[in-house]
Structure 1
Amino acid sequence: MKVTQIPFQKTGFFSKIMHHYLEKNENIKPFYNNFPDISGFHNQIEEKQKSFRLQSRFTLVDALNNQYSAVKTSEKTKENLDLLKLQNTFTITTGHQLNLFTGPLYFLYKIISTINLCEELSEKFPEQNFVPIYWMATEDHDFDEINYFNFDGKKVSWNRKDGGAVGRFSTDDLKDVFEVFSSHLGNSKNAKYLKNLFSEAYLKHSNLAEATRFIANNLFGEFGLVIIDGDDEKLKELFNPFVKQELENNISFTEVSKSILELEKNYKIQVNPREINLFYLGDNFRERIIYENNVYKVNNTDIVFTKAEILAEVDKKPKDFSPNVIMRPLYQEVILPNLCYIGGGGEMAYWFELKAYFEKVNIPFPILLLRNSVQVVSEKQAGKLKKLNISLEELFLNQYNLLSKKVIENSEIKTNFKEKIQFLKNQFADLKDVAKKTDISFVNAVNAQERKQIKGLENLEKRLLKAEKKRQKDLVDRIVELQNKILPNQSLEERQRNFSEYYLEYGESFIKVLKGALKPLQLEFTVVEL
Structure 2
Amino acid sequence: MNLSQISFLDLPFNKLFQDYISNFQKLNSFYEVNPNSDEEIESALQAFNFQGDRNKTVELLKKFNKQFGAGKKTITSIEKLAEENAIAVVTGQQLTMLGGPLFTVYKILTAIHFAQKWQEQYNIPAVPVFWLADEDHDYDEIAGLGFPWKDDYKSVQLDKGSEVGQRVSEIELDTNFATFKKQVIESQYDTDFTDPLWRILDKCYSEGETIGMAFGKLILSLFEEYGVVLAGTAHTEIKEHLVSTMIQSVEKVEEQFQALKNQTDKLVSNGYHGQVHLQPSNLFWIDDDKKRIKLSYENNTWTVDDGDKSWTSAELIEEISEQPERFSPNVFLRPVLQNELLPDFAYIAGPGEISYYAQTKEFYSGFNQKMPVIMPRFSATLVESGIDRIFEKLPFEFADYNDRIEDLESKFIEKSDSPDIESIFDEWKKSIENVSEERVGEIKEVDPTLEGSSEKAIAAFFTELDKLKGKVYRSVKDQEKTQLNRIRKIKANLFPNANLQEREIASIYFLNKYGLDIWDELLEIFKNERPDSHKIIRL
TM-score over 0.5 for the pair: yes
- Partners in 2 of 1:489 and 1:29 — Cα distance? 35
2:408, 2:299 → 1: CA distance? 59
Q: Which amino acid aligns with 1:177?
A: F
Distance 1:121 1:270 in 2: 30
Q: How far has the Cα of 1:203 moved from its partner?
A: 1.7
Q: Which has the higher Rg, Structure 1 or Structure 2? A: 2
- Give, in whole Å, the separation in 1 of the partners of 2:296 and 2:345: 33
The answer to whether the 8 Å contact 1:236/1:319 transfers is yes
Partner of 2:462: none
1:159 is aligned to 160
On the 8 A contact 2:62/2:75 being kept in 1, the answer is no
Q: Distance in 2 between matches of 1:486 and 1:390?
A: 13
- Report which stretch shifted further, 506-515 or 378-387: 506-515
Shift in CA distance, 363/47, structure 1 to aligned 2, threshold 3 Å = farther
The residue that corresponds to 2:538 in the other structure is 529
Q: Are 2:132 and 1:133 equivalent residues in the alignment? A: no
Match of 2:242 in 1: 239
Secondary structure, aligned partner of 1:40: helix
Sequence identity percentage: 25
Q: Hey, what's the Cα distance between the residues in 1 that align with 2:116 and 2:32?
A: 23
For the residue of structure 1 that corresponds to 2:62, the secondary structure is helix
* 2:278 paired residue number: 273
What does 1:493-504 align with in structure 2 at a 5 Å threshold? 493-504=501-512
1:508 and 2:495 are equivalent in the alignment: no
- Secondary structure of 1:235's aligned partner: helix
Q: In 2 relative to 1, CA 465–362 (structure 1 residues): closer, same or farther, beyond 3 Å?
A: farther
Distance 1:371 1:404 in 2: 35
Q: Distance in 2 between matches of 1:466 and 1:30?
A: 57
| Stretch deviating more after TM superposition (470-479 or 211-220) | 470-479
- Alignment map for 1:334-483 (pairs within 5 Å): 334-396=340-402, 399=405, 402-403=408-409, 406-411=412-417, 471=476, 474=480, 475-483=483-491
Distance 1:470 1:165 in 2: 55
Q: TM-score, normalised by structure 1?
A: 0.83
Distance 1:489 1:6 in 2: 21
Q: One-letter code of the match for 2:376?
A: L
Aligned to 2:213: 210
Provide structure 2 residue ranges, at least 5 long, that are not aligned to the other structure.
424-467
Aligned residues: 481
How many angstroms apart in 2 are the aligned matches of 1:275 and 1:163? 22
SS state of the match for residue 368, structure 1?
A: strand
Residues 16-52 of structure 1 deviation map (CA, whole Å, 9 limit, x = unaligned): 1111111234432211110113223212223332xx1
In the superposition, relative to structure 1, how do residues 310 and 98 fare at CA in structure 2: closer, same or farther (>3 Å)? same
Question: SS of 1:361's equivalent?
Answer: coil
**1:309 paired residue among 309, 312, 315:** 315
Aligned to 2:140: 144
**Could you tell me which amino acid in structure 2 is paired with residue 373 of structure 1?**
S
Deviates more, 1:468-477 or 1:499-508: 468-477
CA contact (8 A) 2:24 2:34 kept: no
The 5-angstrom pairing of residues 171-320 of structure 1 reads: 171-173=173-175, 174-184=177-187, 188-203=191-206, 206-250=209-253, 251-265=255-269, 266-282=271-287, 284-292=290-298, 294-300=300-306, 302-320=308-326
| Structure 1: unaligned runs, 5 residues or longer | 418-462
1:110 Cα deviation after fit: 0.9
Q: CA deviation at 1:410?
A: 3.2
- SS for the counterpart of 2:90 is strand
**CA separation in 1, counterparts of 2:374 and 2:144?**
29
| Offset at residue 254 of structure 1 (A) | 1.0
State the Cα distance separating 1:310 from its structure 2 match: 1.8
- 1:313-357 deviation per Cα after TM superposition (whole angstroms, max 9, x unaligned): 222222222111121121112211111111211111111100111
Distance 1:466 1:21, change over 3 A: farther
Contact 1:18 1:345 in 2 (8 A): yes
The alignment's C-alpha RMSD in Å is: 2.8
